Structure 1
Amino acid sequence: MDIMKAIVLKHKIVAILRNVPEKELQAAGADFVAVGGVSLKNAAEYLKNGFVGVGIGSSLVKEELFLQKKWELISTDIKEQLDVLKKEGLL
């Protein structure tokens, strides 16, 4: 969904798949959550540039750990990633 559609539809939160300059986000009059291609490495950039949230999916959980049902390792990985965002002041 692009910004023009977000304005017309007046969504409170709209998911978009690419980074958009902060001035465009503000002009749209909506809150945006970035999804698709978001990782721990670029999540801070999205949040610092006006997005109210990020959706981190496949980069959050390693597929091989999931398939092997290594829940403890998955939990540890997620906690470490959240700690990085906390250190950045984004949580």
Structure 2
Amino acid sequence: MPVARSWVCRKTYVTPRRPFEKSRLDQELKLIGEYGLRNKREVWRVKFTLAKIRKAARELLTLDEKDPRRLFEGGAPKTPQKYPKTPPKYPEGPPE
């Protein structure tokens, strides 16, 4: 019996406005090497996710302090834990 699957299609990344800007290309290549990413699309995906988080934070900060939406969502926006800022360091070696 076939299984019904629900696919939600939405944008996951935004390509840069200027495709051949040297400073941006160098910066992306450095990020790819530093964090071991596969391609530029992964860099764009993280930037897009962070832009959405910043946009939500700006929107919440414009609301009144007593607004129920700000009180409910307001603490700190949830940041993705999938992409740590720095890779973990193991002084004794990786855990087993």
1 or 2, which has the higher strand percentage?
A: 1
- Select the structure that is richer in helix: 1
- Flag the structure with larger Rg: 2
Fold conserved between structures, TM > 0.5? no
TM-score by length of 1: 0.33
